Chains A and B, each alone.
Chain A
Amino acid sequence: MAALLADNLPVPPPNEALLALGIEGSANKVGVGLIRYVPATGAYDILANPRETYVTPPGTGFRPRETAQHHQRHVVPLVQKCLREAGVDASEIGCVCYTRGPGMGGPLRSCAVAARVLARLWRVPLVPVNHCVAHIEMGRVATDVSDPVVLYVSGGNTQVLAFSGRRYCIFGETIDIAVGNCLDRFARVLGLSNDPSPGYNIEKCARDGKKFAPLPYVVKGMDVSFSGLLTFISQNAPKLLAGGYTPSDLCYSLQETIFAMLVEVTERAMAHCGRKDVLLVGGVGCNRRLQAMMAAMARGRGGACCDMDHRYCVDNGAMIAQAGIFAFQHGSRAAWASCDCTQRFRTDEVEAVWRRPTET
C-alpha cells in the first residue's frame, strides 16, 4: 500500500505505530476494517476488512428499520472476524473510528452504538468520521493520487469535489436524486435482481444494448439532475419495450446518458480548478463503463482516472479507519458527548486537518 501522500502534512510527533478500527454502516452494508500505520515507511496497511450486505428481493429497496436490524445482527461477529483475520488482539487497537454521517438514521445509530461500546471497553478514543471524506481518503491512499478531482457516486450521493483551502469543496452535485438511486429505481422498474447490487445488474444488462433511446440530459453549470430522466424512462419503459427496444437497450441508453452527464461535470470541474487527475469513488464507481468513459476524458486532458479497487469503492470499514486515523494522528479529538451521528453531514463541513492547506 502507498506511502504517505504528498499533499498530507507530516505526521506530528510522537509519530508511532497505530492500529485503527473502523466501523461503517450508513446504508445497506455493514463493515469493520483494521488499518495499521507503520512509521518507518509511512504506510497504511489494511489488515482485514470484512463486510455484510443487506440484499432485498427484486423490485424492493432497503428500508431503514430492517437495515438497522441487519447491521445490529452482524456488527459484533464482524468485529470478531476482523480481529481474527488480522491476527490482532483488541489490546493493540489505538482508536475506534465510526461513521458519523451522512446516512440512514437507524443503521448509522446501530453502528455508532457498537463503536461507543468498543471504545469504552477497550478504553481508547472514539473518532467520528464523515462517510464521504472516508471514500476520498481511502481512494487517495489506495491509488496514491494525492490531489485529484473526485467524483463520488453512490446510492445516496453524487458530488464533484476537490480540496481547496482546508476542506473538500463541493464543486458540483445532483440537484435532486443521487445517481445510484436513479439506477436502483430503474432496476426496480425492470424487475432486475438486487444481488449483488441493482447497479451491477444494470451494467451487465447494458452490455447487450445496441439501440440508443434519446433521454433527457440535464446539466446546469457543474450540477446534474436525474429525476426528470428517471420519470421519463420509467413512464415510457412499457411503450419503448413494446416498440422495439429491449431491456438491455434501455439500460444501455440510461447508462450512456447519465454517465455522460457525470463525466461532463467532472471535466468542467477539472477545467475550473486546473487539475488533471480524477478519482472515482462510491459504489457506482465500480461500473466499468463509467470507469472507461472517465479514463477517456482524463486522458484527453493529459491526466488519468484512478479507479479504486472495487473492494474499497464499495462502503467498507477500512475506509472509515483510514479517514479516522488521519484525523486522529493530526490531533483531532472529539469530546465523548459530541460523538453522535447525523443523517445530514456535508463533506465541506469537515476540516481536513491532515492536509496541507492551499490558497484558494
Chain B
Amino acid sequence: MSALAEAEEDADTPARDHWSLLSQGAEARVYGLDLCGLPAVAKHRHRKAYRIAALDGRLRRDRTLAEARALARCRARGVPAPAVLGVDAARCVLYLERVPGPTARAFVDANRADPARLGAVLAALGGAVARLHAAGLVHGDLTTSNAVCRAADDVVLIDFGLAGASAQVEDRAVDLYVLERALASTHRDADGLVAAVLAAYAAAAADAKQVLRRLDAVRARGRKRECFG
C-alpha cells in the first residue's frame, strides 16, 4: 500500500477480514463479503488526505447517510436499487445487498453488436430513472458505471452518495443531462444510446414532456456557458 493510501486509513477504518476489494472508485472502496450467508458489499468512504479533516468528515458522513436514506426510499417505492443491510455512520461504511452482474458500462460495450440486448438494457435504464424520479428522488451522478445489470432487462441503480429528495423539473432535467454527458464520454456513437434511454424515460415518466423540454434548456445553457479565459 502506498504511503498515501496508508494515510487514508484511520482509527475508524473497519476491520476487513474476509473482505475482498471489488472496486476502488473515486470516493469509496467497495468490498465483497458475506453477511450471515447473504452476498453483500461494504462501501467504505475512506479518508481523503487532500482535504482538511473538518470538511472530509462532514462530506463522508453526509454522503453515507444520504445514500442510505435514498436507498431506503428506493426500496419503499419500488425503484430498482440494492437493499441496505447496515449503516456504520461513524466509520462511513454502508453494507448493501450485492447485486450480481456487470455494470451497464461493461454490458453496453459487450453488447454493441447485439441490438436486441443493447435496446433492452437502455430501455431498462431509462425506466429505472423514471421510477427513481417518480419516487421523488434525483440521483446526482447517473452514469453507466452506476448501474448494475442483473439481466439485459433488469437494471439496478447504485451509488446514491449525491442523491437527494427533489421533485423539481429542473433537478430531474439536470439528472438526465449528467447521464447524457456520461454516455457521450464513456461510449462511442453515444447519440443512439442517449436517444434510446430518453425514449424509455419518456414512455415511463408522468411529466416526461416537461422534463425533456427543460433538458433542452439545460443543454443550451451548457453550450452557452463558455465565456472567457
In angstroms, Cα B69 to Cα A113, docked, is: 58
Q: Are A315 and B55 in contact (CB under 8 A)?
A: no
Measured between beta carbons, the chain B residues less than 8 angstroms from A169 are 184-185
Contact of B142 among A132, A221, A264, A268 (CB under 8 A): A221
The minimal Cβ–Cβ distance linking B224 to chain A, given in whole angstroms, is 7
Known pairs A212-B52, A212-B54, A257-B55; A102 contacts B186 (CB<8 A):
no
Which positions 333-360 of chain A face chain B at CB distance < 8 Å? 343-347, 359-360
Measured between beta carbons, the chain A residues less than 8 angstroms from B143 are 221, 272
Taking A173-B222, A267-B27 as known contacts, 15 extra A-B pairs with beta carbons closer than 8 A to each other, sorted by chain A number, are: A27-B228, A102-B227, A102-B228, A169-B184, A212-B52, A220-B141, A220-B174, A221-B162, A221-B178, A256-B55, A270-B26, A271-B24, A297-B48, A344-B226, A360-B188
Looking at A223, A292, A347, which has the most chain B CB atoms within 10 Å of its CB?
A223
Q: Are B141 and A131 in contact (CB under 8 A)?
A: no
The minimal Cβ–Cβ distance linking A260 to chain B, given in whole angstroms, is 4
Measured between beta carbons, the chain A residues less than 8 angstroms from B49 are 296, 300
Which positions 1-31 of chain B face chain A at CB distance < 8 Å? 2, 4-5, 8, 24-27
Measured between beta carbons, the chain A residues less than 8 angstroms from B8 are 300
A194 close to B (CB within 8 Å): no
Which positions 102-158 of chain A face chain B at CB distance < 8 Å? 102-104, 131-132, 135, 154-157
In angstroms, Cα B161 to Cα A264, docked, is: 13
Q: Are B52 and A256 in contact (CB under 8 A)?
A: yes
The minimal Cβ–Cβ distance linking B171 to chain A, given in whole angstroms, is 9
Is chain A's interface secondary structure helix, strand, loop, or mixed overall? mixed
Q: Are A104 and B228 in contact (CB under 8 A)?
A: yes
Measured between beta carbons, the chain A residues less than 8 angstroms from B48 are 264, 297, 300
In angstroms, Cα B174 to Cα A264, docked, is: 19
Q: Are B58 and A214 in contact (CB under 8 A)?
A: yes
Output the nearest chain B residue to A178 by Cβ-Cβ distance: B227
Measured between beta carbons, the chain B residues less than 8 angstroms from A219 are 162
In angstroms, Cα B178 to Cα A256, docked, is: 25
- Interface size in chain B (residues, C-beta < 8 A): 40
Q: Are A221 and B4 in contact (CB under 8 A)?
A: no
Q: Are A223 and B229 in contact (CB under 8 A)?
A: no
Output the nearest chain B residue to A347 by Cβ-Cβ distance: B226
Q: Are B229 and A132 in contact (CB under 8 A)?
A: yes
Output the nearest chain A residue to B53 by Cβ-Cβ distance: A212
Known pairs A212-B55, A220-B141, A297-B50; A264 contacts B226 (CB<8 A):
no
The minimal Cβ–Cβ distance linking B192 to chain A, given in whole angstroms, is 14
Contact of A345 among B27, B186, B226 (CB under 8 A): B226
The minimal Cβ–Cβ distance linking B143 to chain A, given in whole angstroms, is 7
Q: Are B228 and A171 in contact (CB under 8 A)?
A: no
A233 close to B (CB within 8 Å): no
In angstroms, Cα B142 to Cα A222, docked, is: 10
Measured between beta carbons, the chain B residues less than 8 angstroms from A300 are 2, 4-5, 8, 48-50
Q: Are A296 and B26 in contact (CB under 8 A)?
A: no
A322 close to B (CB within 8 Å): no
Output the nearest chain B residue to A283 by Cβ-Cβ distance: B229
Q: Are A156 and B51 in contact (CB under 8 A)?
A: no
Which positions 227-241 of chain A face chain B at CB distance < 8 Å? none
Measured between beta carbons, the chain B residues less than 8 angstroms from A246 are none
In angstroms, Cα B162 to Cα A300, docked, is: 22
